[in-house]
Amino acid sequence: MVRHFRRDDDITPAEQRQIIDLAIAMKADPYSRKPLAGPKSVALIFDKPSTRTRVSFSVGVADLGGNPLIIQSGDSQLGVKESIPDTARVFERMVAAIVWRTFAQSDIDEMADHSAVPVINSLSDDFHPCQLLADLMTIREHKGSLAGLNVAFIGDGSSNMANSYLVAGAMAGINVRVATPATYQPLADAHDTSARIASATGGSVLVTDDVAAVLVDADVVVTDTWISMGQESEKDQRLADFAGYGVTVELLAKAKRDAIFLHCLPAYRGYEVDADVIDGPQSVVWAAAENRLHAQKALLNFLLTAT
Ligand code: CP
Ligand code: NVA
């Protein structure tokens, strides 16, 4: 049966661990697996801009023996003159997997529903599951393990990153704490799903507007832009609403002394994070950016060899 990665919980907690284990192994031995030998092609479709996702998937597909096929929004008929199911029916005859960055999560779900090859969500308005594999891998590299850690996500609780942190973090047995203004809540589905998963994995979930509360004993401090792609017209309102939620040196000092700082990037210094933090000694953002490559190679290997 074909496996997709539409959102973080499309894999089990055990499979998440297995993929992160493989990512760490493939980082040490980058050309050890060639599931795309042929070369087989992988479609990389972008309806939003990207630096890391474009480069990491392109390089990763090549490392796995395959051919990356970048399709920029506007260059294809997808969603304009041709339906998602018809596009899936064409793609599945020629590519080994479809990686799609777009707006609506329902569009990714529809593509997966009609595709005989794996569909990977490389960011939707609701989730950014590939980033979470890289973040969890990075946290594990720095902290040794994941279960029982305290992760503080500060900022836009309604973002794709916050939703994915809740679900993927709970899967890893992490205590995920989100500090966000009351009007920027995570998706109810992500919140409820993460609470249910946490009760099985030993993790926990907290969503609050209290920044200081989430920083107590925090092992990891995370933020994301306050203005996600597609929200540019809300900039002034959002900058006002998120005042006090920027990660400053003073805020970071309230976490554990050895806490690490993560941001999926691109970052806006002076807004959601100060330059002293993202460019400071506790920041591991560049390691996480590199780990997109290793984590996605492991994910592709997993999906392409799943039985
Ligand atoms: N973090 C991330 O997905 O970066 P890009 O938008 O540059 O792909
Ligand atoms: N939340 C951000 C993540 C960028 C990688 C956005 O969707 O724009």
Q: Tell me the pTM.
A: 0.98
pLDDT digits (tens, 9 = 90+) for 13-38: 999 999 999 999 999 999 999 999 99
Residue 161 Cβ inside 6 Å of ligand 2? The answer reads: yes
Q: Does residue 70 have a pLDDT over 90? A: yes
Q: What is the mean pLDDT of residues 228-246?
A: 98
Q: State the average pLDDT over residues 270-298.
A: 98
| CA 179–ligand 2 middle distance (angstroms) | 18
Ligand lying nearest the CA atom of residue 124: 2
Ligand 2: does its nearest atom lie under 6 Å from the Cβ of 264?
A: yes
52 alpha carbon, closest ligand: 1
Q: How far apart are CA 45 and CA 28, in angstroms?
A: 29
Q: How long, in residues, is the chain? A: 307
Q: Which residues pair with 260 in a beta bridge?
A: 220
Nearest to 65 by CA among 99, 30, 92, 91: 30
Query: Checking phi first, is residue 210 left (phi over 0); if not, alpha (psi -120 to 50) or beta?
Result: beta
Site of tokens 């919140």:
191
Looking at residue 78, what is its pLDDT? 79
What's the mean per-residue pLDDT of the chain?
97
Q: Is 282 close to ligand 2, i.e. is its CB under 6 Å away?
A: no
Residue of 224, 274, 294, 296 with catalytic role: 224
Planar angle of CA 16, 9, 173, nearest 5 degrees? 60
Distances (CA, A) of 68 to 2, 58, 105, 178: 20, 5, 23, 36
Does position 74 have pLDDT exceeding 90, yes or no?
A: no
Asked if pLDDT for residue 73 goes beyond 90, the answer is no
Q: Which of 6, 101, 177, 238 is catalytic?
A: 101
Using a pLDDT cut of 90, give the percent of the chain over it.
96
Ligand 1 centroid–CA 85 distance in Å is 26
What backbone phi and psi angles, to 5 degrees, belong to 76? -125, 175
Residue 292 annotated to the active site: yes
Catalytic one of 16, 105, 131, 282: 131
Q: Is 131 close to ligand 1, i.e. is its CB under 6 Å away?
A: yes
Nearest CA to ligand 1 atom 3: 53
By alpha-carbon position, which residue is closest to atom 8 of ligand 2?
228
- Residue 297: which pLDDT band, with cuts at 50, 70 and 90? very high
Digit-coded pLDDT (tens) for 265-277? 999 999 999 999 9
Q: Sign of the C-alpha dihedral, residues 181, 187, 190, 193?
A: positive
- Asked if the model's pLDDT at residue 8 lies above 90, the reply is yes
Ligand 1 pocket member 50 (CB < 6 A)? yes
Report residue 226 as tokens: 């306050």
115 pLDDT above the threshold of 80 = yes
Q: Which of 33, 54, 128, 294 is catalytic?
A: 128
Task: Spell out the residues 6+ positions from residue 195 whose beta carbon is closer than 8 angstroms to its own.
Answer: 170, 205
Give the ligand 2 atom nearest the CA of 159: 1
